[in-house]
Amino acid sequence: MARILIVEDDRDLNNAYSIILKNEGHEVVEAYDGQEALAKLKDFSPDLILLDLLMPIMGGLEFLQHYDLLKTHADVKVLIFTNMENSPEVNEAYKLGAHRCIIKSWTAPHNLARVISDALKTKPKPAKTKATKPKA
Amino acid sequence: MPRSKTSSLSPNRSTFEQQAEAEALFTSIGDGAISTDEFGRITRVNPVAQDILGYSETELIGEWFPKKIIAITSDDIPVNLIDRPITKAFLTGRSISEKMYYRRKNGEKVPVSISVSPILLEGKPLGAVEVFRDITLEEEVDRMKSEFISLASHQLRTPLSAIKTYSHMLVDGYMGDITPTQKKSLRTIISGANRMNELISTLLNITRIESGTIAVTLRMVQLERTIDDVIKEVSMMAADKSISIELKNESQASISIKTDALILKEIITNLVSNAVKYTPENGSVTITTLQRGADVLITVSDTGWGIPLQSQDQIFSKFFRAPNIVMRETTGTGLGLYLVKGLVDTLGGSISFKSREGTGTTFYLTLPRTPKRKSTKSTRRTVTTA
């Protein structure tokens, strides 16, 4: 089972995804904006991040820029969970290393569990540069 | 006594009078206007062109147009001489209209809509007239419209997502056991939410297609998997009418194509749900896939009510609903196939159909396995590869 970080500002949805994923046996941590997610990532190393795009304080795209997914966390899968289908924001998220985009309002709980299971099975993208330097 | 018409070609008017009239006409044009001789040297500039470009008349007259008036792309790359509208107008002898950016004298970039016409005498170019318009405001309105669409999409769907997710969780037993009657009621809620979701999706996609702001993300998509997902989504609607849905891959191996997964799914969902919706009870829907050279062919056939012959040329029109369908199905916007056509065009494919009233309909959807990248000159469609 995997370690999953949910970053979603809508508390009802965040709670629902948390229930569904915990029910599948995953270890789940919740954050309600990008800034809170970055703070939680100091103590939690996820296999997968379920990321909303439009959030207050720090949105999903800004989070991806700070998290530096492509360079330093290439082994972490980021699933964009948004309602902004076919939008330039989704394209931007792919450029920043997102694995897949899922439309929230189309996705039933059993499909969410399947999409996450599929994403976890895929091989990580090769890192563009080496990971952070080991501490001296 | 009727008054005779006068024109600049009147033999009674002097050359000076005709020149003065042409000068007044040129000066009074509300857009920027520049004329050149047969070598592309600027011969006349109106005040609006001077305002847009920031150059005075004396700075422009006699200069070689393509060198003095610098055209650039949105990425600040200079437009090649061969790609400049004025060059094309000279080379083809036809009027050319395009959008690009001009560099003002102070270095600023200004978006312009350009129209150039060659001045021809017995087929030989004597010069050209370029009329151009500052479209900064239009671009800003387009950008705001696009932002509004994204925001509206998000805001309308957020409450729907909560309704659907929690309803599904109740049905799936995440909150404990529920009675069959409660389950049926929840399925009605989910069905209503799905219809609302479809409507939002349709309206937003149509707006994006019409404004040229639909984003296309190319990635490898397994065709059967996408169609399976669609079948699962419409299976409840099909089961209610005892309609069977079958998928046949007529190729030897599974088919993968490079396309936008969400747009492809939207197209197939529309075609399959239409087939189920417009087929009477105990009918069947068959979906086939076939790899054919550089393309894939997807067919969606039903044993439904069919499209009347007299309506067949209007089937992809906006808001059109065939009369035999309006009689039977009161729900429907007449936007589904209009959207499908727009989305298929966006993916560089084509769609056609054969139908006989009372027998059924087959839609033939052809998509490239690897789409050719389209020029971004005439559209602001965003294409990326994931």
Supply A37's token pair: 């997610």
Does the pLDDT of residue A13 top 50, yes or no? Answer: yes
ipTM of the complex: 0.78
Q: What is the pLDDT of residue B96?
A: 93
Q: A88 touching B, CB under 8 A?
A: yes
Which of A22, A18, A20, A64 is CA-nearest to residue A41? A64
Listing DSSP states for chain A in one string gives --EEEEE-S-HHHHHHHHHHHHHTT-EEEEESSHHHHHHHTTT---SEEEE-SS-SSS-HHHHHHHHTHHHH-TTSEEEEEES-TT-HHHHHHHHTT--EEEEGGG--HHHHHHHHHHHHHSPPPPPSSPPSPPP-
> Residue B188: CA atoms inside 13 Å, Cβ hemisphere, count?
6
- CA proximity to A86, closest of B225, B154, B319: B154
Cα–Cα separations (whole angstroms), residue B351 to A61, B71, B296, B299, B322:
36, 38, 12, 10, 18
Q: For A108-134, write each residue's pLDDT tens digit.
A: 777 888 888 888 887 655 544 433 333
Is A132 domain-assigned? no
Backbone angles phi, psi at B17, to 5 degrees: -60, -45
Paired residues of A7 in beta bridges: A31, A51
Residue B123: phi, psi to the nearest 5? 85, -10
For residue A93, the chain B residues in CB contact (below 8 A) are: none
**Architecture of domain B136-213 in this structure:** Orthogonal Bundle (1.10)
Q: Which helix (H) or strand (E) holds B100?
A: strand B96-103
Bridge partner residues of B78 (DSSP): B72
Hey, are the CB atoms on B165 and A86 less than 8 Å from each other? no
Chain B residues within 8 A of A88 when measuring between CB atoms:
146, 150, 213, 215, 382
Determine the residue among A13, A86, A118, A121 to mutate to test chain B binding: the one whose Cβ has the most chain B Cβ atoms within 10 Å: A86
Residue of A nearest to B382 (CA): A88
Nearest C-alpha of chain B: how many angstroms from A131? 22
Distances from the Cα of A84 to the Cαs of A9, B71, B151, B274, in angstroms? 15, 34, 8, 24
Tell me which of 3.40.50.720, 3.30.450.20, 4.10.80.40, 3.40.50.300 is the CATH number of domain B15-134: 3.30.450.20
**Token pair of B205 as six digits:** 């996609």
Query: Given this chain, do its domains B15-134 and B216-386 carry the same CATH topology?
Result: no
What the block records as the tokens of A135 is 């501490």
User: Quick check: A84 contacting B, CB < 8 Å?
Assistant: yes
Residue A134 in domain: no
Domain-located, residue A129: no
- On whether residue A95 sits in a domain, the answer given is yes
**Nearest C-alpha neighbor of B175 from the set A8, A15, A44, A114:** A15
B157 closest CB neighbour out of A20, A91, A105:
A105
If 0-12 CB within 10 Å is exposed, 13-18 middle and 19+ buried, where does residue B133 land? middle
pLDDT in tens, chain B (386 residues): 444 444 445 556 778 888 888 888 888 889 999 999 999 999 999 999 999 999 999 999 999 999 999 999 888 899 999 999 999 999 999 999 999 999 999 999 999 999 999 998 888 889 999 999 999 998 888 778 777 776 777 788 888 889 999 999 999 998 899 999 999 999 889 888 888 887 888 888 888 787 777 878 888 999 998 998 888 878 877 888 899 999 999 888 889 999 988 899 889 999 999 999 999 999 999 999 999 999 999 999 999 999 999 889 889 988 888 877 776 765 677 888 999 999 999 999 999 999 999 899 999 999 999 876 543 333 344 444 44
Question: Is the pLDDT confidence value at A136 over 70?
Answer: no
Which ranges of B44-179 would DSSP assign to H, the alpha helix? Answer: 47-53, 57-60, 65-68, 85-92, 136-171
Helix (H) or strand (E) holding B247: strand B244-249
- The pLDDT score that the predictor gives to residue B382 is 43
Answer yes or no: CATH 3.40.50.280 is held by domain B216-386.
no
* Residue A13 contacts B, CB cutoff 8 Å: yes
* Structural domain boundaries in chain B: 15-134, 136-213, 216-386
Looking at residue A95, which CATH number applies to its domain?
3.40.50.2300
Measured between CB atoms, does A23 come within 8 Å of chain B? yes
Measured CA to CA in angstroms, residue B230 lies from A33, B166, B203, B276, B287 at distances of: 32, 21, 20, 12, 11
Residues B133/B149, Cβ–Cβ less than 8 Å: no
pLDDT at residue B71 in the model: 95
Count how many domains chain A has. 1
> Which chain B residue has its CA at the smallest distance from A54's CA?
B154
pLDDT of residue A125: 53
- What does the CA dihedral B94, B97, B100, B105 come to, rounded to 10 degrees? 70
pLDDT for A49: 96
Q: C-alpha angle with apex B219: B264 to B285, nearest 5 degrees?
A: 25
B157 touches A at CB < 8 Å? yes
Q: Is A118 on the interface with B (CB under 8 A)?
A: no
Side by side, which strands form the sheet with B244-249? Answer: B244-249, B284-292, B295-302, B360-368, B350-356
Predicted local distance difference test score (pLDDT) of residue B9: 52
Structure tokens at B209: 């297609």
Give the up-direction half-sphere exposure of residue B200: CA atoms within 13 A in the CB hemisphere.
25
Would A133 be classed as within a structural domain? no
Instruction: Kindly report, residue by residue over B5-52, the tens digit of the pLDDT.
Output: 444 455 567 788 888 888 888 888 899 999 999 999 999 999 999 999
Render pLDDT for A85-113 as a digit per residue (tens, 0 to 9): 667 788 889 889 998 888 887 777 778 88
- Find the domain containing A107 and state its range: 3-121
Q: What is the pLDDT of residues A21-77, one digit of tens each?
A: 999 899 999 999 999 999 999 999 999 999 999 899 999 999 999 998 778 888 899
